[in-house]
Amino acid sequence: MRNNIVTSRKSTPITQSVIILGLSALMCVLFTAFNPPVFHIEEVEAFASRVSFSPERLSYWWRFFLSLVLFGVIPLLASWLLGLSRQQLGLTSGIAFIKKPLFLLSLPAALLIGASGGASPALYSYYPYARDLSEIVRQQGMIHLFGHLAAYFFLYYLPWEFFFRGFLLMPFAMAARSLFDRHQPDSVQGQAGLFLLSAAILFQTIPSTMLHFGHPFSELLSAIPAGLLFGYIAYASRSIVPALLLHALVGFGTDGYIILHSIGVF
């Protein structure tokens, strides 16, 4: 009986590709349409006043909710229905890649890059998403900073990396890898695999960059090389985890610097 259930969730590569691309486009549109500042209706502010939420606090949690549902829950459910494996989605530890000395050195570098970005006036005035967070940390303690970083990691960065470097990239990257493994690199099939891999990494960079529209211009520009780098790292490690760590540390550096500077730590 169990084998029949598993078999019933298998789908052809064409079906998988169409659904992945179509659903990804829909999720990006919905994230943009229902995300501040595009999404702004009086009924939401009225709801916020009834539950004693400030508009800033509601916007903060709403952004995380959208990321979790649109980039996490729905694509994960679609992946299960399509019969995609954890390996096809990059849901592996990536520990062999993480343990490489060069990658380990890149972790503190990512944190420093984020902190240097937070020192720029444009990012300093834009982040964190909760504009009252610095004052909350000042009055109620550092536990709120750590809570913010935990929410940021699990509700924002994790769904984001699963969506772009997992759901939207890895099935195509694994298909390209299979062509590499079965054929000589200079053969027609091997070249086709290289093209497919390059196209997949480039393609997922486009929407991940476009969703930075409205952010500071320096961040929008940096989203292009970051998307390419994170896509390649996901392919090379066969996991979304290394790119997730780098992406999160950049954000932690930015928000950490801004909040700590705002409350006079340095």
Average pLDDT over residues 169-181: 84
> How many whole angstroms separate alpha carbon 55 and alpha carbon 48?
6
Token duo for residue 71: 């980039």
Is the per-residue pLDDT at 101 higher than 70?
A: yes
Q: Which residues contact 182 (CB under 8 A, 6 or more apart)?
A: 189
Report CA dihedral (258, 263, 265, 266) to the nearest 10 degrees.
50
Task: Quickly state the pLDDT bin for 55 (edges 50, 70, 90).
Answer: low
Per DSSP, the three-state class of 214 is coil
Handedness of CA 24, 27, 33, 39 (dihedral sign): negative
pTM, entire model:
0.90
Residue carrying the six token digits 């539950």 = 51
Domain that holds residue 252: 2-262
pLDDT at 3: 43
Token duo for residue 89: 């989605």
Q: State which amino acid sits at residue 184.
A: Q
Residue carrying the six token digits 């340095």 = 266
Average pLDDT over residues 88-98: 96
Is the per-residue pLDDT at 6 higher than 50?
A: no
CA distances to 41, 46, 56 from 137, in Å: 29, 26, 15
Token duo for residue 15: 């079906």
Residue carrying the six token digits 């009055």 = 139
Instruction: Determine if the peptide bond prior to 108 is cis (ω within 30°).
Output: no
pLDDT at 14: 86
> How many whole angstroms separate alpha carbon 159 and alpha carbon 89?
12
> How many whole angstroms separate alpha carbon 35 and alpha carbon 29?
10
Dmax (CA) of the chain: 65
Which H or E element spans position 42? helix 42-50
What pLDDT, in 10s, does the model give residues 125-163? 999 988 888 989 999 999 999 999 999 999 999 999 999
Task: Quickly state the pLDDT bin for 45 (edges 50, 70, 90).
Answer: low
Give the count of domains, the chain: 1
Least confident of 38-52, 57-71, 96-110: 38-52
pLDDT: which is higher, 50 or 174: 174
> How many whole angstroms separate alpha carbon 25 and alpha carbon 71?
11
Residue carrying the six token digits 């829909």 = 26
Is the per-residue pLDDT at 42 higher than 60?
A: no
Token duo for residue 72: 């996490």
What pLDDT, in 10s, does the model give residues 215-255? 999 999 999 999 999 999 999 999 999 999 999 999 999 99
